[in-house]
Structure 1
C-alpha cells in the first residue's frame, strides 16, 4: 500500500474503511430490536438507496430518512443506541488493512480526516475507533434535542468538496495538496479536486473511471 507524502489525507467510510455501508449495518442491527426498523428499511430501500446508486441523494430525501430513523428518539437516545450498535456490530466490519494504512499516514505526520455521508453520531463512533484526527460528516438539525433532519450542505457529492475546503481554511493547505480514498462514483467531485485520488474497493462505475484516468486502485475485498 503506497503512502503519499501529503499534509492531509481524506478517507470515505462506507465500503472503504468498512466492508459494508453503515446505514445497512444499522438497519440490520435495529431490525432485531425494534419493529419500527421495518418502516425505516422500507424507506431506505424504496427511496434512499436507489437515489444513492444513481448519485442523486438530495437533502430532502436524506432528512426524511433521518426523521424516520430517529422517530421517537431524542438525540441522547440516538447516541445511546448508536453506542450499542457500534460495539455489538459496527466495529466488526472495519477492514483489518485499514489500521495499517492509517498508521502509516500517522507515522509520517499526515493529518487523517474521515469525510463521510454517515451522520455525525455514527461517524464519530468510527472516527474514535479508527483513531483519526478529525471527522467531517452529515450534521443533525435539532430542536429541543429532537432530530428534525440534516443541516446543509450535505456531506455528499459536491457537498464533500465544500466541506473539505472549509476544513482547510486558514491552514494554508489546498485541496490539490491532499489525498482522498473512496469507493464510490458519488465522490467524483472530490476525487477531481485532490492531488492524489486513490480508488479504494471501488464500485463498477468508479472502476471504469479509474481505468480511464489511470488512478491507482486498492482493493481489500
Structure 2
C-alpha cells in the first residue's frame, strides 16, 4: 500500500482552510470567518482544539449540502495554476501502476476529499468522520478525528484488516504532524522542506520530493513534476 497525506502533499493548499474561505465568500458573510472560528477555540489553542473548533462551525449543516458544496469548491480549485504538487501526484500514479493500493490519509473531511480521491483514483480514504443526527444534519462533533497519531492508528488498522505487512508499504507527508504516519511503514518520503521531517529523512535515509506547486495534468504519464521512480509490482487488493 501507498499512504498519502493530502494537504500540501498532493494538493498545494490546506483544503479545510481553502474550502471554508470559499464557503464564506459564497455565503456573503452569513457564515463565521476563519478568524472567528480560530478565536472560538480560545487563546493558545492546540492544533487538535483548532480542528475541533473548525468542525463545530458545521453544526446544523445538512450532510448533502456540505457534500455538494465540496464538489463545487473542488471543481473550481482543481483548475488553479498552482493547485497540485505534481511530484507527489506522479508518485501516486506510479504506485497505482505497480498495483499498490493507494490510500489518502487526511485530517480534512469527505466533502473536500471525496472528489479529489475520485479524480486521483485512490482506493481508500481515511479522513475525519463527522457526526450527523437522524435528520442528516451535522452536529458539529466528530465521530473520528484524523490528525497526528490518529493517522498511524488508522494505517495500522487497515494493515491488520488486509493482512499487508507494514514493511512492504510506503507513506508520503509534508508536516511534522505526519511523522507517526511516516514511521508506521517501511518506506517513507518527505514532501517539501519541513525541518523536523528532513532531520528524520537524513538520519533514516528517507526519500524526498519537492513540494513545488503546479496544474492538474489529467491523464499525463508518471514522472510529471519530478523524477520518475519505479516500484516493485504487487498483487492488487482492489
Report the TM-score range of the alignment, normalised by the length of the smaller protein.
Answer: 0.7 to 0.9
Decide whether aligned partners of structure 1 residues 97 and 91 sit closer, same or farther in structure 2, where only a CA change above 3 A counts: farther
- Say if 2:183 is the partner of 1:195: no
Task: State the shift of 1:61 in Å.
Answer: 4.2
Matched ranges for 1:20-169 at <5 A: 20-34=13-27, 35-44=29-38, 47=41, 56-58=46-48, 61-68=50-57, 70-90=58-78, 92=80, 93-143=83-133, 144-148=135-139, 149-152=141-144, 154-169=145-160
Is the CA contact (8 Å cut-off) linking 2:10 and 2:89 kept in structure 1? no
Unaligned residue ranges in structure 2 (runs of 5+): 213-238
Decide whether aligned partners of structure 1 residues 189 and 96 sit closer, same or farther in structure 2, where only a CA change above 3 A counts: closer
Decide whether aligned partners of structure 1 residues 97 and 193 sit closer, same or farther in structure 2, where only a CA change above 3 A counts: closer
Q: How far apart are the structure 2 equivalents of 1:105 and 1:90?
A: 22
Task: State the shift of 1:201 in Å.
Answer: 1.7
TM-score by length of 1: 0.83
- Say if 2:4 is the partner of 1:11: yes
Q: Between Structure 1 and Structure 2, how many residues are aligned? A: 206
Q: How far apart are the structure 1 equivalents of 2:78 and 2:17?
A: 10
Q: How far apart are the structure 1 equivalents of 2:107 and 2:77?
A: 19
Q: How far apart are the structure 1 equivalents of 2:88 and 2:188?
A: 17
Q: Tell me, what secondary structure is at the counterpart of 2:26?
A: coil
Q: How far apart are the structure 2 equivalents of 1:47 and 1:20?
A: 22
Task: State the shift of 1:11 in Å.
Answer: 0.3
Task: State the shift of 1:114 in Å.
Answer: 0.5
Which has the larger helix fraction? Answer: 1
- Say if 2:198 is the partner of 1:210: no
Q: How far apart are the structure 2 equivalents of 1:71 and 1:80?
A: 16
Q: How far apart are the structure 2 equivalents of 1:172 and 1:57?
A: 32
Q: How far apart are the structure 2 equivalents of 1:151 and 1:45?
A: 23
Question: Rg bigger for which structure?
Answer: 2
Cα deviation 1:72-120 (Å, max 9, x = unaligned): 4211111111111111125631223344322211111111101111112
Task: State the shift of 1:159 in Å.
Answer: 0.7
Q: How far apart are the structure 2 equivalents of 1:147 and 1:77?
A: 10
Q: How far apart are the structure 2 equivalents of 1:41 and 1:126?
A: 26
Task: State the shift of 1:173 in Å.
Answer: 1.0
Task: State the shift of 1:20 in Å.
Answer: 1.3
Is the CA contact (8 Å cut-off) linking 2:88 and 2:209 kept in structure 1? no
Is the CA contact (8 Å cut-off) linking 1:137 and 1:155 kept in structure 2? yes
